Chains A and B, each alone.
Chain A
């Protein structure tokens, strides 16, 4: 399955890109995170503490154990600071 994966704020800076297409076998967000962590050290470091990260599937906030079925766009980012 092909997914657009987006990164924001310090996560974007640590990984060094804002958006990439990822070919994945994962069925959940956590599975996708495991695959990304295994890629390169910058991903391992960026995803070292999931409690400090949030995830959105197709622009809706979800949990890390959410399924990926039918998803097109996954975004990872730190807790939001609007207002």
Chain B
């Protein structure tokens, strides 16, 4: 039901999507999302720190909550940590369901909770200095929708 991975290594988005979608006979919809390090000309690298142990636990709790709310046939979450450069894939989620409404809603829910309830912190190394990415009030507000 749950495939949850926290890793430093890159992942192959196409391969993971195909693997997740394969061999399902009771599924009518798959939704996938991939987060990418957004470059802006000044960003050199992004470092992602996490809390080993709690991260896996928090992701599993978030996935369990999604599975409780919607009729899902599967959930995949991959989230990387370590040093990444613009253009690199940071994370992905995938949801499988009989109908698309549940798959879309669950993927949206997972992303909102991943943003502010999974113990990851981003630090940006920019041409003009280094800084930790601050959490946005809008990320916290997004949880109120659910």
Contacts and interface: CB of A to CB of B under 8 A. Distances in A.
B72 interface: no
A75 B54 CA distance: 10
Contacts, number: 71
Contacts of A81: 115-116, 120-122, 132-135, 139
A8 B115 contact: no
A80 B123 contact: no
Interface size class of B (residues with CB under 8 A): 20 to 34
A80 B119 contact: yes
B120 A59 contact: no
A70 interface: no
A80 B35 contact: no
Contacts of A3: none
Nearest to B61: A60
Interface string A1-13: 0000010111000
A83 B91 contact: yes
Contact of A80 (B91, B111, B135): B135
A80 B54 contact: no
A50 interface: no
Interface in A4-37: 6, 8-10
A83 B110 CA distance: 9
Contacts of B49: 8-9
30 contacts: A8-B51, A8-B119, A9-B121, A9-B132, A10-B132, A59-B51, A59-B53, A59-B57, A59-B58, A60-B57, A61-B117, A75-B54, A77-B121, A78-B132, A78-B134, A80-B115, A80-B120, A80-B121, A80-B135, A81-B116, A81-B133, A81-B134, A82-B91, A82-B114, A82-B115, A82-B116, A82-B117, A82-B118, A83-B111, A83-B114
Interface of A: 6, 8-10, 56, 59-61, 75, 77-83
Interface of B: 35, 49, 51, 53-54, 57-58, 79, 90-91, 111, 114-123, 132-135, 139-140
